[in-house]
Amino acid sequence: MSGLTTHVLDIGHGVPARGVTVALYRLQKGEWKAIATAATNADGRIDSPFLTVEPLPGEYQLVFHIGEYYAKREVETFLSTVPVRFVLSSPQEHYHVPLLVSPWGYQTYRGS
């Protein structure tokens, strides 16, 4: 199954990050073109894959609006947005990009 999914966990509070706005972009001719925007559900996931069809190979970017997430919870944060850039080289594969976040930092990796 090809596609792109994400999962946001608030490791500072030990909970899934509900309500994080996540935007997907693709680099085309040197410019970032918006593809989709969604918000995470109660489990910290987007309800359906960002890319439900086989994506084009290339460079993509997920932008997580973490500052808004913490502002709604009245939590001070160092972060405003977290951009994660990556290359989809095998369009037939599934790509999962989790984000582990706290008010002061983050970590990401290619999941399964």
Residues in the annotated binding site for substrate: 7, 45, 109
What does DSSP say about strands 15-16 and 31-39: parallel, antiparallel, or unpaired? unpaired
Where b means 16+ CB within 10 Å and e means fewer, 35-66 reads bbebebeeebbbeebbbeeebeeeebebbbbb
Q: Which residues are annotated as a binding site?
A: 7, 45, 109
**Contact residues for 32 (Cβ-Cβ < 8 A; gap 6+):** 25, 26, 61
